[in-house]
Amino acid sequence: MKSNTSGRVRSIFVHLVLIFLSFLCLFFFYILIVNATRSHADLQKGFSALPGKYFLENLKNVANDGSFPMFRGILNSVVVSSCSAALCTYFSSLTAYGLYAYDFKMKKAAFTFIMAILVMPTQVTAMGFLRLITKMGMYDSLLPLIIPSIASPAVFYFMYSYLQSSLPLSLVEAARIDGSGEFRTFNSIVLPIMKPAVAVQAIFTFVGSWNNYFVPALIIQSKSKMTVPILIATLRGADYMNFDMGKIYMMITVAIVPIIIVYLLLSKYIIAGVTLGGVKE
């Protein structure tokens, strides 16, 4: 009787904590949406938990601003983030599979080299990267924001760890005995098993690329090629006399919609992978 009572109390406490944490997470989204519905004058008055009446007006102001290509910037960010997530997850998974499933002399050295790159900050190599893409004729282009995502040590390490815990080598050997080629084995057998890890890293890579400001700020100069973070910074640094907080909150609100959509699309694969993705020998 006491155990049932204590278990019920524990369950209630856990649910209350989860409700509180959910409230903290969703509260800031709610305030962001509320601020997007208020005018610049209303925002200057201070905090308000009630929405305003300027949602459509703020959206029109941002969309019709000729010096601020909002939808073009969102399209650029979608292209860069989607391509980066796809290339990063696929080639990182392929690299992790190569180091996990094959034995060769320089295997440990290759793993150590990749891990050494992991601790190197982006800012250290920024100037060399900028000079390289300038000589290659890719300055003020979206390609330098996409191509380097192929090499991601952090995603590689995550995929390698996942393969160690989820992929028995006997499954790979059985595929080889049946005459399956290496790329067919990876694409048809290994990659579906890695679907939960791929979904997780696709979300992280997409969000990281979407929020990336440092590298695009170095490379992109044309407004037609700017991504969302640069456009928001441009809007924030506008003339003080023409400064409109309502437009900024509206831009941020519109900018987070693709991130939410990506998460909703991939979250079901994470849950399905955790529950059904086990491999039995």
pLDDT tens for 203-228 read: 889 988 998 888 888 888 888 888 88
| Contact between 274 and 195 (Cβ < 8 Å) | no
pLDDT band of 87, cuts 50, 70, 90: very high
Cβ neighbours of 6 (radius 10 Å): 10
Higher-confidence position of 120 and 174 = 174
In whole angstroms, give the CA distance from residue 254 to residue 132. 34
* pLDDT at res. 234: 76
Reported as a single tens digit per residue, the pLDDT across 216-274 is 888 888 888 888 888 877 766 555 556 678 888 888 888 888 888 888 887 776 665 55
- The domain 67-236 is placed in CATH, from the list 1.10.3720.10, 1.10.10.10, 1.25.40.10, 3.40.50.920, at 1.10.3720.10
pLDDT band of 281, cuts 50, 70, 90: very low
* pLDDT at res. 233: 78
Q: Where are the chain's structural domains? A: 3-54, 67-236
* pLDDT at res. 240: 55
- Tokens representing 281 are 């020998």
| Contact between 80 and 146 (Cβ < 8 Å) | yes
pLDDT band of 66, cuts 50, 70, 90: low
Query: Average pLDDT of the chain?
Result: 83
Helix and strand numbers, DSSP H then E, in the chain: 15, 0
Q: What pTM was estimated for this model as a whole?
A: 0.80
Phi, psi of 136 (to 5 degrees): -85, 0
* pLDDT at res. 86: 93
Over residues 156-169, mean pLDDT? 88
